[in-house]
Structure 1
Amino acid sequence: MNNLDDEEYLTGYHCDAVYKKQVIPENQGNAFIEAIPDRLNAHKLYEALYSAPRFKGDVSKLDIEDRLALVQQIRKSFWLPLSGHFYRYRQYYNMIKIGYQSRNPYSPSYNRQYALGLDKVFNSGVDEEGRNIAGVNHTAEGFADIGLSGMGKSVTNKRILQLFPQVIHHKSYKGRQLTKAQVVWLHVECPSSKSVSQLSRNFFAAVDKALGSGSNFFEKFGEKAGTIEVLAQRMVKVANQINLGVLLIDEIQKVHRAHSGGDERMIEFITELTNTIGIPVVIVGNLKSLYLFKSSLANSRRAIPDSYVENITDRMVEGELNTNGEKAITEWDDFIEALWEFQYTLSRVPLTEEFKSQMYYHCIGIPDIAVKLFMHVQCQAIVNGGDERITQNLINSVASKSLKLLQPMFERVRRGESAVLIEFENKDIHWTEFNEYFKEAAHRVYVHGKLAQEHERAIQQKNRMSILEDLIAFTSKMSKSIEEAESIAQRVFESSNGMGDLNSMYQHVAKLVMESQETSTRSQTKNKVAQFPKLKKNKGELPLMDISDIRYIVKAGEQKKMSIEESLLDADLIKDPLEFNLL
């Protein structure tokens, strides 16, 4: 399909349109709205969202390895719907239907947009009343889900999206032909390359992934460069063609200001998708993404739809005693009680108020940290042997080691300095015991995904010589001699003692090789300049190299205003630094 096939894209199910009678007059007579399934009630929504480890047997009959494996299943399988998730589902459901109100496939004004041309409609913008030149006043809404890492924002939004069909296939509506595919939702993750251009490419690839074989939007639009305005225009055109219900842009904090043209340019890029053609947009990110809103939203309110909502996700609150000495029940109580059920130690320990308070103290109400800490405590209890009981001393001991880097910050939070949590986004949770295990393991251990990110330095430390060998092999593909390759690779490697960011090291050696070759070329040219007549320089012409040559790839990327990192990533020449084997 395209050169992004290896990327993972969130997908959902396809279905044929079944039209439902609508109570709200604004929703009646609109095939796109009537094809949306009925809203789930609270009970059905809970059943659809809840998930838990499926093991129901007697753990006392299992060996240590099986019980340790069950503990690892908790984080993968456990997910508890909370009150905020029900609100978010209603928000999505209403937003999708309202967004389609101004996009009735049989509306004359809506179809007038196609007659005028979507490019012309987009370039003309909207008038003071919010109408575009086709006379359409779009009803699209949008919201931002911003909050602390570990609160489950991305998982929540993904799970809710997958409750809706991703693609609805229309054939006829009330006796009239209607051969259209309606993409109800699309999930796009911001790229690690931090560029808006790569974000748009991810969008087109996600569209092709959703529609399946035969869709070639990436080939048509994704491989072309352009300004932010042009990229947004292409995305709007395709979103309109596929009748997109809502676009979710996840991990928005990855889009760096320097790559996006500034805070306000990024906000403009997102709001352009909403205002002119009427695409509801949801953006999700951690506290790092607050830079997008800190000044831009305050200074550019006229560009933000009136219906725009900002959701800031805070950590869970621990219940406090009231005047009668009774403790209020909070989401933290519901969460920890549900989590505590999944004990795979030989001795089950009931959850007491003391355990609740102790767990909250160490994780300060962040669910992801609570789950990890609970897993680590169980693993330690099982490895210690004996009756394998979870105790307060064991929780304190594991937390003091596993959360060592976070505890000073958490202590400031306990003193009331909540603003310090923004620093949390710049900290990597360092799970000391697992890192030591990786370094000391005599057998082969494969680490992928998020777990690999959490233990990257431990993995990297054990693989220092393999990293150097890979770095030399990579450099030799660009260099004229193996001696030069070894020299450059060794210099970059030793500058960080082999513990620097791996992608940065690849970029650094590529830059040094290019500089070395340019210096060599200038020297040779200077020595021979008197021997040859001057030739007219062809601007923009690449040197004669094979297209697979890394020098060619980097040079070609420069002409497209791409960084070395973006060029190498685009050509799939930089490996995932986290997928190393521990020997």
Structure 2
Amino acid sequence: MSNEQIAGLNGTHIYAKYNEQVIPKNQGNPFIEALPERIDLSTFIDALYSVPPLDSKYNNLCVEDRLEFVQQIRPDFWLPLPSHYEKYRNLYSMIKIGYQSRNPMHAIFNRQFAIGWEEIFKAGTDEKAANLAGNMHTAQSLAEIAINGYGKTQMYERMLTRLFPQVIHHKEYQGRMLTQSQLVWLKVECPYNKSVGTFCKSFYAEVDKLLGTKFYEKFAEKPGTIDKLVIRMIKTVAQINLGVLVIDEIQRIQKAYSGGEDNMIDFITQLVNTLGVPVILIGSFKALYLFKDSLANTRKCLPNGYAENISGYMLEDSWEWNHFIENLWDLQYTKTYTEITQEIKDLMHYYSMGIPDIAVKLFMHVQSRTIVNGGDERIRLSDIREVAERSLNMVQPIFNRIRTGDPSAYKDLDDIKPDWVPLNGYIKEASHRITVHGSLAEEHARVLQEKRREEILAKLTEFALQLVHSATDAEVIANKVYDASSGMGDIALMFGQIARLVVDNAENMGSSTHVVTNNNIKTSTGILPKKKVGKKLKPVSKPDDIRNVVQVGHSKGLTTEEALEEKGYIRGVDELLDIIS
């Protein structure tokens, strides 16, 4: 269904066409089956890549016409990168997973409407995360935080508009009537006044444009508390079957406005946790610590499944920067084509700091100057330097302070780079998943490694506690196994090494219980050696004791691993991965 076929409505509308699903949880759900099939990397690049018109005949046009072509570079040039495809993959999964708990063919989904969303909201969820209707929502949420000029908003707009319909109309599913509209995605900007009421008004207005509804007339002007606004919003979102809500410019939430930040954060959290709608927050580094207070207080204040992607500028020697600048440099409308050199790449990175939008603007200014000056119209290094100092004079002082390591610069330049020390602490403190890209990944490699070490050790210790009685012994074992692999080993293999270490010590100690001494582990053979015997204690002779299990297994001709697997002490990889996920 095209836009023209639905008079007065915006967005891309289609009739539902159902696709078979591989994942069992996705089968039999019309909202999931109606989504377009996932595309591969090659198709993704073809769908999103765009450049302004480029032909050799344009290089001989008059100065004014060529300058006009140069001005088309910024709006028309967009280069998909592998990191963009990874974000598309996550977005696609978020939408599908969010619909898993919202299947219109299931009685539990319709029971929520019978009970009423106001009652469900007031009741909250139980210890199993089920709401009053017994439904457990599957929504995930994501914050996409990046330096200004990184192209985060444009990236999501392109993916959503080019790869997903905005509205899917259902008529019948598996012989049953299903007259529902499915709003796959909606993007709304965070208001400047940080008001939940203003945000709701923008939301209703956008929905009405897409679906021809009258939610704005019904709800927008009604006064009420934050809870009332949330309940009305939840009712609306439930009726339109929203797949994902994208909230842009989230950095506008600041404590300078009385209650603005807390109210909006609470609102977003309730939207995710109560109804199960995935939410993507997009903002600059000012939004980096959006949930910092929530982290300090309680995990319940975070939206379910919350994660963060934090992106800095592209590194000078990275594949992404070279790929980006080489493709950008081809867009020349000068009379003479200037081949790109390593010196040009380095200089462009120096003056743009690897920020895509600034690199594009710099290239446009340099090319315009070269065309206006005439002559052979070759782009020289001196042209890049002079243009950068003049046309980008607002950002160069900022970049210079960062290059010289001026610590005071970071406090004033949240939109360029976050304060490094708080960010290190934030990464270590956060209980949700944080992915760091670009320059930030390099500069925060140490703290990221520390966070990964703590996470892995916690999982190894948890597993070891199932095999030994002492928490101290479990920690010692976990640390030994982690250190033996330098933290680079496969988690499932490390679980197996823990089990073998416990068995080896049990065999060595004979009738003693499990005591692991703090000896070094040799890793040259890839097998953990037997440990020295600790203090002997009274033996434990229960039939399910791990030592007895091994001994009985050996008498049957089984290996140690086979004996433990038979009794369930060593689990399959899938079960082990469930423990750590």
| TM-score, structure 2 as length reference | 0.68
1:376 and 2:375 matched: no
| Alignment partners' CA distance in 1, 2:27 and 2:408 | 47
1:362 aligned partner: 351
| Alignment partners' CA distance in 1, 2:10 and 2:279 | 17
2:170 aligned partner: 170
Query: In the alignment, which of 383, 387, 392 is matched to residue 398 of structure 1?
Result: 387
Query: In the alignment, which of 305, 315, 318 is matched to residue 317 of structure 1?
Result: 315
Query: In the alignment, which of 279, 282, 285 is matched to residue 281 of structure 1?
Result: 279
2:471 aligned partner: none
1:385 aligned partner: 374
Alignment of 1:66-465 (within 5 A): 66-162=65-161, 163-211=163-211, 213=212, 215-259=213-257, 261-319=259-317, 329-416=318-405, 420=409, 423-424=412-413
**For residues 351 and 292 of structure 1, do their structure 2 counterparts lie closer, same or farther at Cα, with a shift above 3 Å needed?**
same
- After TM superposition, the structure 1 stretch with the greater mean CA deviation from structure 2, 294-303 or 143-152, is 294-303
Is the 1:148–1:421 Cα contact (8 Å) retained in structure 2? Answer: no
Using the TM superposition, give the Cα deviation of residue 256 of structure 1 relative to its aligned residue in structure 2, in angstroms.
Answer: 3.4
| Alignment partners' CA distance in 2, 1:39 and 1:124 | 37
| Alignment partners' CA distance in 2, 1:258 and 1:56 | 52
Which amino acid in 1 is paired with 2:397?
P
| Alignment partners' CA distance in 1, 2:217 and 2:407 | 47
| Alignment partners' CA distance in 2, 1:340 and 1:18 | 42
Q: Deviations over 1:271-313 (max 9, x none)?
A: 1000011111111011112242333344342122452111111
Q: Deviations over 1:416-463 (max 9, x none)?
A: 568945644569xxxxxxxxxxxxxxxxxxxxxxxxxxxxxxxxxxxx
How many residues align? The count is 407
**For residues 300 and 420 of structure 1, do their structure 2 counterparts lie closer, same or farther at Cα, with a shift above 3 Å needed?**
farther
**For residues 421 and 398 of structure 1, do their structure 2 counterparts lie closer, same or farther at Cα, with a shift above 3 Å needed?**
farther
| Alignment partners' CA distance in 1, 2:79 and 2:231 | 39
1:547 aligned partner: none
Is the 2:59–2:66 Cα contact (8 Å) retained in structure 1? Answer: no
Is the 1:248–1:284 Cα contact (8 Å) retained in structure 2? Answer: yes
Which amino acid in 2 is paired with 1:228?
I
Is the 1:260–1:266 Cα contact (8 Å) retained in structure 2? Answer: no
Q: Give the match's secondary structure for 2:386.
A: helix
Q: Give the match's secondary structure for 2:178.
A: strand
**For residues 241 and 62 of structure 1, do their structure 2 counterparts lie closer, same or farther at Cα, with a shift above 3 Å needed?**
same
Larger Rg computed on CA atoms: 2
Q: Give the match's secondary structure for 2:144.
A: strand
Which amino acid in 2 is paired with 1:251?
E
**For residues 305 and 149 of structure 1, do their structure 2 counterparts lie closer, same or farther at Cα, with a shift above 3 Å needed?**
same
Q: Give the match's secondary structure for 1:269.
A: helix
Using the TM superposition, give the Cα deviation of residue 128 of structure 1 relative to its aligned residue in structure 2, in angstroms.
Answer: 1.7
Is the 2:291–2:302 Cα contact (8 Å) retained in structure 1? Answer: no
Q: Deviations over 1:224-280 (max 9, x none)?
A: 222222222211110110000100000111233344615433221111000011111
Is the 2:148–2:415 Cα contact (8 Å) retained in structure 1? Answer: no
| Alignment partners' CA distance in 1, 2:361 and 2:126 | 52
Is the 2:253–2:260 Cα contact (8 Å) retained in structure 1? Answer: no
- Segments of structure 1 that go 5 or more residues without pairing to the other structure are 1-9, 320-328, 428-583
Using the TM superposition, give the Cα deviation of residue 70 of structure 1 relative to its aligned residue in structure 2, in angstroms.
Answer: 0.4
Pairwise CA RMSD of aligned residues?
1.9
| Alignment partners' CA distance in 2, 1:381 and 1:296 | 53
Is the 1:143–1:308 Cα contact (8 Å) retained in structure 2? Answer: yes
| TM-score, structure 1 as length reference | 0.67
Using the TM superposition, give the Cα deviation of residue 125 of structure 1 relative to its aligned residue in structure 2, in angstroms.
Answer: 1.1
- After TM superposition, the structure 1 stretch with the greater mean CA deviation from structure 2, 413-422 or 267-276, is 413-422
Q: Deviations over 1:195-250 (max 9, x none)?
A: 22111111111111121x3x111111112222222222211110110000100000
1:581 aligned partner: none
Alignment of 1:472-491 (within 5 A): none
Q: Deviations over 1:157-184 (max 9, x none)?
A: 1111111111000000000000000001
| Alignment partners' CA distance in 2, 1:50 and 1:217 | 37
Q: Deviations over 1:70-103 (max 9, x none)?
A: 0000001000011211011011110111001101
Q: Give the match's secondary structure for 2:291.
A: helix
| Alignment partners' CA distance in 2, 1:49 and 1:365 | 21
| Alignment partners' CA distance in 2, 1:422 and 1:57 | 48
Q: Give the match's secondary structure for 1:109.
A: helix
| Alignment partners' CA distance in 2, 1:422 and 1:276 | 37
**For residues 151 and 418 of structure 1, do their structure 2 counterparts lie closer, same or farther at Cα, with a shift above 3 Å needed?**
farther
| Alignment partners' CA distance in 2, 1:421 and 1:342 | 34
1:476 aligned partner: none
**For residues 418 and 21 of structure 1, do their structure 2 counterparts lie closer, same or farther at Cα, with a shift above 3 Å needed?**
farther
**For residues 179 and 204 of structure 1, do their structure 2 counterparts lie closer, same or farther at Cα, with a shift above 3 Å needed?**
same
| Alignment partners' CA distance in 1, 2:103 and 2:38 | 20
| Alignment partners' CA distance in 1, 2:407 and 2:88 | 28
Is the 1:131–1:138 Cα contact (8 Å) retained in structure 2? Answer: yes
Q: Give the match's secondary structure for 1:204.
A: helix
Using the TM superposition, give the Cα deviation of residue 391 of structure 1 relative to its aligned residue in structure 2, in angstroms.
Answer: 0.5
Which amino acid in 2 is paired with 1:177?
M
Q: Give the match's secondary structure for 1:120.
A: helix
Alignment of 1:529-568 (within 5 A): none
Which amino acid in 2 is paired with 1:402?
S
**For residues 63 and 253 of structure 1, do their structure 2 counterparts lie closer, same or farther at Cα, with a shift above 3 Å needed?**
same
Which amino acid in 1 is paired with 2:95?
I
| Alignment partners' CA distance in 2, 1:173 and 1:227 | 39
Q: Deviations over 1:537-569 (max 9, x none)?
A: xxxxxxxxxxxxxxxxxxxxxxxxxxxxxxxxx
Q: Give the match's secondary structure for 2:288.
A: helix
Which amino acid in 2 is paired with 1:375?
M
| Alignment partners' CA distance in 2, 1:353 and 1:46 | 26
Is the 1:251–1:286 Cα contact (8 Å) retained in structure 2? Answer: yes
